Homo-oligomer: A and B are copies of this chain.
């Protein structure tokens, strides 16, 4: 397969409230830096460099974030696409297929979320190449899976079946997609050996995806087909509003027949909660982890994400999470990091707009 056929669709549309106070309406998670000076989105685009040319790298994001995405990525203006409104991933990916097809008739698409931490880049690119070859030659939907090394409950899983052929041992048929499991199920998946984490990355040709949408989500397909020029923002906006809201997993992938999963061998993390910070940093002797200037006094297992000039001190408390930005501080038990959503809901209720 000609590698130049790859068109990337970076999905940067999330509004993520699980990183408050770091994430804000005007700067969702994908625009934040965690393990690097560069934002997750910038790292995602960097990761494609050398594999996908800038003019074939599309970033799709909320229309209010188009300027920010342009600044973060240095991609050509035409590569940053504002989604008129959020209609979940099936609509986004279907629309992306139209865009990819109009950029390059023989496109093979890589769809990737904008908020993953992956290394090293060369292994990532090798896996994408392998997936693209399969997608181009076999007309299947290809997903990228990761061998689990812990019983994670925060990711979806894919049950893998037989190899597609002996020449490509890392590519297997998909038996089924499994939603985020409970702890017990996650342990069972880990022991069983045939389950991989669903990275959310997909590789396919636009026509294979559009055919699958036609079969499983005819209403969405009809809407998409009414778009004559996918780069005409006004036309897209008129159609988009009416597209059904459904995820690609639930709406298409779970039902589609010919699905292949390529097992990747790179390091991968979905930066889903502040816990991801702890996974990428060395803890101190008391199992405390910090990003930014921090001091722990008689504290164990605590996590500080200090994103502003100055110091955070935790004294005499175990297992707490403290997040500090220029204008806000959040203190919460580390195990309750998921409750950050409640905090954001409460701030909305209280009308503290300036902190949202």
Contacts and interface: CB of A to CB of B under 8 A. Distances in A.
B309 A327 contact: yes
Given A297-B342, A342-B297, A343-B297, A330 B350 contact: no
A324 interface: yes
Contacts of A336: 315-316
Interface in A302-337: 309-317, 320, 322, 324, 326-333, 336
Contacts of A71: none
A220 B331 CA distance: 50
Interface string A337-356: 00110110011001010010
Contact of A331 (B313, B326, B342, B347): B313
A342 B296 CA distance: 11
Given A317-B320, A320-B317, A312 B295 contact: no
Contacts of A21: 311, 313
A346 B324 CA distance: 21
A268 to B, nearest CB: 29
A59 to B, nearest CB: 31
B320 A355 contact: no
A54 B339 CA distance: 56
A331 B327 contact: no
29 contacts: A21-B311, A295-B343, A295-B352, A297-B339, A297-B343, A309-B327, A310-B326, A310-B327, A311-B352, A311-B355, A312-B328, A312-B331, A313-B329, A313-B330, A313-B331, A313-B343, A313-B347, A314-B331, A314-B332, A315-B330, A315-B340, A315-B343, A316-B332, A316-B333, A316-B336, A317-B320, A317-B333, A322-B329, A324-B329
Interface residues of A, number: 34
Given A310-B328, A315-B330, A316-B333, 9 more contacts: A295-B343, A295-B350, A311-B328, A313-B347, A314-B332, A315-B331, A317-B320, A322-B329, A324-B329
Contacts of A320: 317, 331
A339 B315 contact: yes
Contacts of A312: 328-329, 331
Contacts of A339: 297-298, 315-316
B332 A317 contact: yes
A347 B339 CA distance: 32
Contacts of A322: 329, 331
